[in-house]
Homo-oligomer: A and B are copies of this chain.
Amino acid sequence: MKLSQRGEYALRALLVMGMNHGPGVIRIKDIAQQQNIPRRFLEQILNDLKSAGFVQSKRGVAGGYRLQRGPDEISLADIIRHLEGPLAPVGCVSVNYYQRCSCPDEGKCAIRSVMQEVRDAIVGVLEGVSVAHLCNRVRDLQGPLENPLDYVI
């Protein structure tokens, strides 16, 4: 699994929304400025996250984005799977994006068996971390601040 720039931006944006989770929305512009993400590019990304059901949007003057589900209901595994495709290093051990490889018998392929372990290791970490967990880590790492927007992500 390799996290692209796009993927990193997405995580950062979701984390900002997680830290400010509530009934209100946050503008793209603010996220972009705070996180130093090209605005146009971020638009594209959030749009994608929207059609995938991770966030919802409100148009018009007081518009913006917010998480669709609660921060504790979104795992990093889900997010990254959507953004980057398979978490597994090779298609033939991917559960969600399985692709048969050329070896004659997958059950007897030693390379595959190692890659299986790698996949399980990656998934093990990423399934266990939600956006809410991430937010907690931010707070743990940075101590409590007055303004939630001051959290560095």
A interface residue numbers (CB < 8 A to B): 1-3, 8, 11-12, 15, 36, 76, 89-90, 101-105, 107-111, 113-115, 117-118, 121-122, 124-126, 129, 134-135, 137-138, 141-142, 152-153
Contacts and interface: CB of A to CB of B under 8 A. Distances in A.
B8 A111 contact: yes
| Chain multiplicity (copies) | 2
A128 to B, nearest CB: 9
Nearest to A12: B111
A19 to B, nearest CB: 10
A122 B76 CA distance: 17
Nearest to A138: B110
B125 A118 contact: yes
